[in-house]
Chain A
């Protein structure tokens, strides 16, 4: 039997390495897009996904650097030097600034032939309701206007002055800058700022790219400042945030990781006078993770980073098992490896079955992330169980160690505390404390998965970004609309319908402004409709009457307008519209996708509702979508934890009976319930990351309770010692993450820290022979 187990273990390890070797030959198929965690059936259509990907790439590749100085020449030279250097090193795409910005008059000349089809929203409204009087008034008011916005040349050919009013609505000239030496420049309070708007060539989130780009950028800017000390350089872009996060995470990980490893090594050495438990744990972890990874690689195309991290975390159970096995060396009655493994086998097996049942419930959900965690954890736990049962006894050459009550005095104190607590007074005190924590904690509990709150962005970079936005006016909200059609015309028509609704939202102060390509060029259908409105209400006798009223000669009119329609293609090549043309994010034979950028979003819900029933319109709020995924996962994880608890209770009832099974499960469940409230009392919030950590607390806590329950009275101190070592190692490995500056990591670590202390403290609750 034991040999068969050994052969099985070796076969599975060989199998795992072969699978991993083959699958990883082309790199680890790691998925780190948090949106990939969404259930598949709600996953969006391909065009939306592609458009969002493209937007994300475009946005994250963009960097803006502002070089300022009171001396315009110094600022100009420094900005040119910086851009040329970045271009020369291949960090940015070559600049496309070659195209000249047209003056307003020149842009007017492009639009002028099509003026009969170009009506401002207000003029359209007037003409649709037959309110020609208001059109007359507006035109005449412009003619009377001091200093003459309109001259006779324009009035002669556009007597109703439609074009100036249409022009005032155009989303052009909205930037605050002038062009100096081909670069956008802003002058404020005697200081000249040159704006470098650049697109990175590399992947901004890649630590490799960051390691090349950031040092070069920093060194070069320092050199520029040394050369001209008065210049100021500000920067913004995803690469700077990403680099800050990467370097922060690296530093933290190496510091916390070092402390963890040293602490665990010292602990093992102090207890066992050797490192046998460490390498046994390592073996259990490596075999568990390898098998789990192999199984996941077979089942799933891509492994989600979250599944990998969480799954690997669960391997902490393997470490616990190693400690329990090694602690049996303190037992005088278990002298051989076989006796040692047999002593813990019931607890190990019950722990394994309970965890597998618990994690299998996750696999029943449609959430791919939870499914991966389920598969990873289940397969990994089975493998590490096999390692403990079949391999540990073969490697174990350790002799029995004498248990020193003096050395482990804390264990005795702990044991005595529990034996005294077994009376009614203690139970009532316990109940009162628990109720108090729950009640007060509930009042303070703050459940929030808003990703914007969970991001800990560095203040210095945020301040630079705010200054750049204020100076340049480059500011769009993160939310936007995607509009799709089969042709350009189709897309423009859909966009125009959506804009009518957006105008309502602006009137209701739910939105400040938006930028859409259809304001630049109306659809041909709308241009046609505008012409009809003008000719129905304002031409012929109407025009003659109007010209007579204003005493203008009869030759004035619209006779020389173009019969064709203005198209986006006509504007594409003009430099003035380069930034607006980026709103056209896809243009292929049978698909055209536009983006509508939004400003001053005050009511996300109303915006999300617009076009919700139209398949060709999609409101995108990246931060909201991520937050929503996190909320869904948090709720799902907690619900499944409850379901798993019920199922495991049923299973344990078979062995212990309902009452005692309830007592066994009570300790980990109490730890799970109390932890969020204690965190709330400490001023922390409750997020998706806390919920995921609670699942680990439950799995590990259940093991502590089972080892206590299965322990005989004589060996209880050994189980308590092993539990204590397990809890300490978990706290060293994960609890220390509470010190992290990254909110997600901190929340995860804090939950483990508190949860594990509670689970460990409450574990003897189910022990009958305290």
Chain B
């Protein structure tokens, strides 16, 4: 459940804010929002943070894809069928949508954010962004303990798009995700997304 929640926030960060900040462009049909990401996972017991980087894709109404390039290639796809992780094209983890009741919620939030439904997001997450010039930040504390008990706090910040995400967990673990080089491109120009053209 918490992965869904976190992904929902990423999606909101990248699309919902895009809708309220005048500089950004709403995604049209066939367009994909993509950005580079680098992630640090600070886990208890590990000598150093676990680092990875790759490319993030948001295909409206279809899927969110995290394509990790380093330390080795793997891909995490979230769509209406569920979550699928592959390593070098081989399936390593598949969680069908039926085991993730929150997936439908994620999709409705995606819809809302793509339509610029900021009011829905406000009521959904009960929070408001802070602005500082062109920059903004949003801090979120999950209030539904039953659903996201392991996540203590999430902080998002950016300007036109979300640039950093910090996820803090109740057990002391925390993740930092940095997003950069955002662009909106047509899906047909991305050979790695073959199969999502329709």
Which A residues contact B (CB, under 8 angstroms)? 103-104, 122, 134, 137-138, 140-149, 151-153, 155-156, 164-165, 168, 172-176, 178, 187, 473, 550-553, 555-556
With contacts A147-B7, A155-B45, A553-B47 known, is A141 near B99, CB below 8 A? no
Pick from A134, A138, A164, A551: contact of B47, CB under 8 Å? A551
With the chains together, A15 CA to B154 CA distance in Å? 91
Query: Is B99 a contact of A144 with CB atoms below 8 Å?
Result: no
Query: Is A152 a contact of B173 with CB atoms below 8 Å?
Result: yes
With the chains together, A152 CA to B174 CA distance in Å? 10
User: Of the 9-residue stretches B27-35, B64-72, B185-193, which lies at the interface with chain A?
Assistant: B64-72
Pick from A103, A141, A556: contact of B92, CB under 8 Å? A141
User: Of the 9-residue stretches B15-23, B36-44, B114-122, B126-134, which lies at the interface with chain A?
Assistant: B36-44
With contacts A149-B3, A151-B150, A152-B171 known, is A144 near B41, CB below 8 A? yes
Query: Is A147 a contact of B171 with CB atoms below 8 Å?
Result: no
Query: Please, which residue of chain B has its CB at the minimum distance from the CB of A176?
Result: B98
Query: Please, which residue of chain B has its CB at the minimum distance from the CB of A105?
Result: B149
Q: Quick check: is B14 within 8 A (CB to CB) of the other chain?
A: no
Pick from A141, A550, A552: contact of B85, CB under 8 Å? A141
Greatest chain B CB density within 10 A among A155, A174, A555, A556 is at A155
Query: Is B50 a contact of A156 with CB atoms below 8 Å?
Result: no
Pick from B87, B99, B175: contact of A173, CB under 8 Å? B99
Pick from A143, A153, A174, A550: contact of B99, CB under 8 Å? A174
With contacts A146-B177, A147-B175, A149-B93 known, is A175 near B98, CB below 8 A? yes
Query: Is A151 a contact of B43 with CB atoms below 8 Å?
Result: yes
Query: Is A144 a contact of B68 with CB atoms below 8 Å?
Result: yes
Query: Is A137 a contact of B87 with CB atoms below 8 Å?
Result: yes
Query: Is B46 a contact of A137 with CB atoms below 8 Å?
Result: no
Pick from B1, B10, B85, B90: contact of A142, CB under 8 Å? B85
Query: Is A473 a contact of B98 with CB atoms below 8 Å?
Result: yes
Query: Is B169 a contact of A151 with CB atoms below 8 Å?
Result: yes
Interface residues of B in 96-127 (CB under 8 A from A): 96, 98-99, 101, 104
* Shortest Cβ gap from A108 to chain B (Å): 12
Interchain residue pairs A-B with the least CB separation, the first 6: A152-B43, A173-B99, A152-B44, A147-B6, A551-B47, A138-B92
Greatest chain B CB density within 10 A among A148, A149, A173 is at A148
Query: Is B52 a contact of A144 with CB atoms below 8 Å?
Result: yes
Pick from A138, A155, A553: contact of B87, CB under 8 Å? A138
With the chains together, A456 CA to B85 CA distance in Å? 46
With the chains together, A13 CA to B93 CA distance in Å? 76
* Shortest Cβ gap from A672 to chain B (Å): 55
In the complex, the number of residue pairs spanning A and B with C-beta atoms less than 8 Å apart equals 114
* Shortest Cβ gap from A139 to chain B (Å): 9
* Shortest Cβ gap from B40 to chain A (Å): 11
Query: Is A146 a contact of B45 with CB atoms below 8 Å?
Result: no
Which residues in A have their C-beta under 8 angstroms from that of B1?
A: 104
Which residues in B have their C-beta under 8 angstroms from that of A155?
A: 43, 45
* Shortest Cβ gap from A218 to chain B (Å): 33
Query: Please, which residue of chain B has its CB at the minimum distance from the CB of A149?
Result: B3
Q: Quick check: is B139 within 8 A (CB to CB) of the other chain?
A: no
Which residues in A have their C-beta under 8 angstroms from that of B88?
A: 137
* Shortest Cβ gap from B126 to chain A (Å): 21
With the chains together, A147 CA to B83 CA distance in Å? 13
Which residues in A have their C-beta under 8 angstroms from that of B85?
A: 141-142, 145
In the complex, given contacts A141-B68, A149-B93, what are 16 additional A-B residue pairs having Cβ atoms less than 8 angstroms apart? Answer: A134-B90, A137-B87, A143-B50, A145-B76, A146-B7, A148-B43, A148-B169, A151-B171, A152-B172, A152-B173, A164-B93, A173-B99, A176-B98, A550-B46, A551-B48, A552-B47
Greatest chain B CB density within 10 A among A147, A168, A175 is at A147
Q: List 12 A-B residue pairs with CB atoms under 8 Å apart, sorted by A's residue number.
A: A103-B146, A145-B66, A145-B68, A145-B74, A148-B43, A149-B3, A151-B43, A151-B173, A152-B172, A173-B99, A175-B98, A552-B46
Query: Is B71 a contact of A144 with CB atoms below 8 Å?
Result: yes
Interface residues of B in 130-183 (CB under 8 A from A): 146, 150, 167, 169, 171-173, 175, 177
With the chains together, A137 CA to B177 CA distance in Å? 22
* Shortest Cβ gap from B12 to chain A (Å): 14
* Shortest Cβ gap from A63 to chain B (Å): 23
Q: Quick check: is B95 within 8 A (CB to CB) of the other chain?
A: yes
With the chains together, A164 CA to B83 CA distance in Å? 13
Query: Is B94 a contact of A552 with CB atoms below 8 Å?
Result: no
Query: Is A551 a contact of B99 with CB atoms below 8 Å?
Result: no
With the chains together, A369 CA to B190 CA distance in Å? 67
Query: Is B46 a contact of A168 with CB atoms below 8 Å?
Result: no
Query: Please, which residue of chain A has its CB at the minimum distance from the CB of B95?
Result: A168
With the chains together, A140 CA to B87 CA distance in Å? 10
Pick from B2, B48, B74: contact of A144, CB under 8 Å? B74
Which residues in A have their C-beta under 8 angstroms from that of B37?
A: 146
Which residues in A have their C-beta under 8 angstroms from that of B169?
A: 148, 151
* Shortest Cβ gap from A135 to chain B (Å): 10
Query: Please, which residue of chain B has its CB at the minimum distance from the CB of A172?
Result: B99
With the chains together, A176 CA to B10 CA distance in Å? 25
With the chains together, A677 CA to B150 CA distance in Å? 73
With the chains together, A145 CA to B92 CA distance in Å? 12
With the chains together, A158 CA to B93 CA distance in Å? 16
Query: Please, which residue of chain A has its CB at the minimum distance from the CB of B48?
Result: A551
With contacts A137-B72, A168-B95, A175-B98 known, is A147 near B167, CB below 8 A? yes
Which residues in B have their C-beta under 8 angstroms from that of A156?
A: 44-45
* Shortest Cβ gap from A635 to chain B (Å): 45
Which residues in B have their C-beta under 8 angstroms from that of A153?
A: 44, 171
Query: Is B98 a contact of A173 with CB atoms below 8 Å?
Result: yes
Which residues in A have their C-beta under 8 angstroms from that of B43?
A: 143, 148, 151-152, 155
Which residues in B have their C-beta under 8 angstroms from that of A552?
A: 45-47
Which residues in A have their C-beta under 8 angstroms from that of B99?
A: 104, 168, 172-174
Query: Please, which residue of chain B has its CB at the minimum distance from the CB of A174?
Result: B98
Which residues in B have their C-beta under 8 angstroms from that of A140?
A: 71-72
Which residues in A have their C-beta under 8 angstroms from that of B167?
A: 147-148
With the chains together, A259 CA to B177 CA distance in Å? 82
With the chains together, A174 CA to B99 CA distance in Å? 6
With the chains together, A175 CA to B177 CA distance in Å? 33
Query: Is A144 a contact of B50 with CB atoms below 8 Å?
Result: yes
* Shortest Cβ gap from A423 to chain B (Å): 73
Query: Is B45 a contact of A148 with CB atoms below 8 Å?
Result: no
Query: Is B44 a contact of A141 with CB atoms below 8 Å?
Result: no
Which residues in A have their C-beta under 8 angstroms from that of B45?
A: 152, 155-156, 552-553, 555-556
With the chains together, A556 CA to B177 CA distance in Å? 26
Which residues in B have their C-beta under 8 angstroms from that of A187?
A: 104
With contacts A152-B45, A164-B93 known, is A146 near B39, CB below 8 A? yes
Which residues in B have their C-beta under 8 angstroms from that of A556?
A: 45
With the chains together, A176 CA to B98 CA distance in Å? 5
